Chain A
Amino acid sequence: MAEETFRTETKGMERYPGLTAFLEGWGIFRQSLLGKIGLVLLIMFALMALCSYIPPLIDPMYNPMTGVDPVITCSTGPSRAHWLGTDFMGRDILSQLLAGARVAFMVGVSAAFMSIVLGTAIGMTAGYMGRFMDTFLMRLADMIMVMPTLLVVLILAAVFGQLNIWTIVLIIALFRWPGVSRIIRGQTLSLKQRPFIEAAKVAGASHVRIIFRHIMPNVLPLAFLFMTFRVTSAIIIEAALAFLGFGDPGTVSWGMMLQWVWKTGHMFKAPYWLLPPGICISLITLSFYMLGRAMDEVLDPRLRKEDQTD
């Protein structure tokens, strides 16, 4: 009976195959506990990021970077004016935490998006062109893959001084594409042999057309799956960088907050200041990871052969 109604429901949507596919995928996703927890957590963080615009509107002293409570001169615990307390110079920790959520999304999603675009383009090119191009691009990928991203960014920061947050995002993206490109390349290699590619050739399709019209739609789901994992690693790298003192000094990220706790010697004195950013970093990376795992189940099982170690 339930199936009947579902049928009739989807019938009218024949013209919107993307939507039907989405609904089907959602049906599988919903059955995954991991996916549901991840999604709820992410919605929570997204709300936090949205709310980050509110405190500075209430009072300039709630500005996460520059707003200082005039009556406070050292770190204080939670109070009515500052629900999570203040840092060493009287800035509101809650506002910082909310702003941190916004930065985490920004850094995570944009770095992941860029590395996925890069990795997908390079992987498809290498797999499709083969020969010299393949060898060259994959050797390059190997070289970059073995470089520890964090260390490289640290060295760059040491050489060029403080890095802008967007520079950090760009560097993360530039160093995190090889893993994606390897998987997309493998996928492309197997797609390239399929008769529908040959049929397109016989129809007269150019290489560019075959790559973008025939191969790309078939690898995109996999690329998007990878994006969720890349978000996780980008957030962790940015946090580590900030904590080590090489973050963008003009940005309030959770890693930055930890750095301030550490530098001012409040590590073991102010749990109200140390714990919130620490917990947030762990939870947001965990939630993106769980979301990715659940999406993995939604995707075609044939696509599931990636190795999630990096």
Chain B
Amino acid sequence: MMENQGNAIIEIQNVSKVYRSRGALFGVRAKDVVALRQVSLKIYKGEIFGLVGESGSGKTTVGRLIVGLEEITSGEIFLDQENVTGLKGKALKAFRRKVQMIFQDPYQSLNPQRSVLDTVSEPLSIHRVGRSADRKEMAHKVLKSVGLSPPEAFFYRYPHRLSGGQRQRVAIARAMVLNPEFVIADEPTSMLDASISAQIFNILLKMRSTFHVTQMFITHSLAAARYLCDRIAVIYRGQVMEVGSGETIIRNPRHPYTQALIDALPKFKGSGEIKQYGTLLIEEREVNGEPMGCPFYPRCTVAEIRCEREIPGLRMLEEGHYVACFNV
């Protein structure tokens, strides 16, 4: 960890996000949603960092906070050691040249009224890169690199004439065309077939090897994260449960929630041990009063009394392996 200190490209420190309910209806205030609580992560140059968690755990929120689509409630975000929390105006625009995002749903993330060339070259014209002919050239190159070839055949196509996989390739091309330092891919294949997903994964790998772009790969599937990612963070109800190398998380998970996720992975070898760890309670445990302890407490088989009252912080178990659990 220490030797890596210098080359963290993105660092988020104690980031919390609360979605405040809009206005009170008939005097009854809807509950605020705490999407993230005290999340800290470091992402190193050149790696693919996996953010794994079930639906609603706050993965998308992490991505949206980093790219500045959502206002941060508390905490700080750094890009190359520079504080980029709450940027505005010119600084924000400069930041956006370096940090891009690929959205979850390619059926929604492309403007139906704009052609592929319009979409892919737009970031270039926004940041005034090159002339129109250069932009076309660059769009050509990037479309080719995401496997849309010949690019000319796609230039003047509109999204409704593209398949889901082709759309997501266009979205990747749009994110890559500015040659950013860091790209967040938010469940880029959750809307696509399995075979197409594999192709998209390979494009992301290729982006890393050819353009050396650091990536954060958001997914609900530990299997996908294991295939793509160097390091993985497991997030549950807005809190980081475990961080480690992909190998560690898969082979030696220490947090009961991570272990439950591994148990849930489809197994092909043998048939004997269906549940290796058995850390997931079948029925949720009752929590008295306001939940204030570990978010996994209601479903944890190895919970202690203090787990109901106290939130465990991330502790280092070994080099680069952190777990938020009192029990390990």
Contacts and interface: CB of A to CB of B under 8 A. Distances in A.
A15 B178 CA distance: 25
Contacts of B123: 203-204
Contacts of B127: 204
Contacts, number: 65
B322 to A, nearest CB: 29
A266 B263 CA distance: 95
A200 B108 contact: no
Contacts of A199: 101, 103, 109-110, 171, 174
**Interface size bucket, A side?**
20 to 34
A161 B174 CA distance: 59
A202 B69 contact: yes
B156 A195 contact: no
Contacts of B158: 17
A295 to B, nearest CB: 17
A15 to B, nearest CB: 5
A32 interface: no
B277 to A, nearest CB: 37
Contacts of A166: none
Nearest to B93: A204
Given A15-B156, A17-B115, A205-B122, A196 B110 contact: yes
Given A14-B156, A205-B122, A209-B126, A196 B109 contact: yes
A218 B174 contact: no
Contacts of A306: none
Interface in A5-64: 14-15, 17
A82 interface: no
A198 B184 CA distance: 14
A214 B93 CA distance: 18
Contacts of A201: 69
Interface in B82-106: 92-93, 96-97, 100-101, 103-105
A217 interface: yes
B305 to A, nearest CB: 44
Contact of B156 (A17, A194, A198, A204): A17
Contact of A203 (B68, B110, B126, B156): B126
Q: Nearest 6 CB-CB pairs, A to B? A: A217-B113, A204-B96, A203-B123, A195-B109, A195-B108, A196-B111
7 contacts: A14-B156, A17-B157, A196-B111, A198-B69, A202-B69, A202-B101, A204-B92
Interface of B: 67-69, 92-93, 96-97, 100-101, 103-105, 108-115, 122-123, 126-127, 153, 156-158, 171, 174, 178
